[in-house]
Amino acid sequence: MARRSIEVEGLHHSGNPIPAASRVGSLVTTGGVYGMDPVTGVVAPDAREQVRLIFLQLGRVLAEAGAGFDDVAKLTFYVRTSELRPFINEFWLQYFPDAASRPARHTLVYDHLPGAILVQCEAIAMVSDEA
């Protein structure tokens, strides 16, 4: 089964040769997705905007991998402080409004996020095998 690196314009890991995601068969996993504005290349200055941009960037990464939000099985959020949970919940409910069909989620307080990044996430998704 061939592995394919997933890249999207406007989301990168500075100085590291790491793709935004990887797809192997029907499995899609992302690296750290964070609140970088895809147009300016700048990390948003406030937490709520970072979370909004995370969901925007995650949608772009998933689409490039042939997936969508309905294919997500789990999201893990890394936050500098637990006070960011309300922002995550706000967008979580927008992207996953059906309480009977939401991915698993885990949020961890992590104080080693680089630079101005206050929150990032990783996703696991399952999609149909590529032809």
pLDDT per position as a tens digit, 50-73:
999 999 999 999 999 999 999 999
Number of domains, the chain = 1
Of 89, 78, 90, nearest to 31 by C-alpha is 78
- Domain membership of residue 109 (yes or no) is yes
- Domain membership of residue 26 (yes or no) is yes
Give bridge partners of residue 104 from the DSSP assignment.
Answer: 74
Q: Which domain holds residue 107?
A: 3-126
State the pLDDT at residue 11: 81
Two structure tokens written together for 77: 């959020």
- Domain membership of residue 131 (yes or no) is no
- Domain membership of residue 78 (yes or no) is yes
pLDDT above 70 covers what percent of the chain? 95
State the pLDDT at residue 10: 77
More confident residue, 22 or 11: 22
- Kindly give, in sequence order, each residue whose CB lies less than 8 Å from that of residue 77, ignoring residues fewer than 6 positions away: 84, 88, 105, 106, 107, 108, 119, 120, 121
Orientation angle between helical segments 47-64 and 85-95, nearest 10 degrees: 40
- Domain membership of residue 18 (yes or no) is yes
83-92 pLDDT per residue, tens: 999 999 999 9
pLDDT higher than 60, residue 131 = no
CATH number of the domain encompassing residue 94: 3.30.1330.40
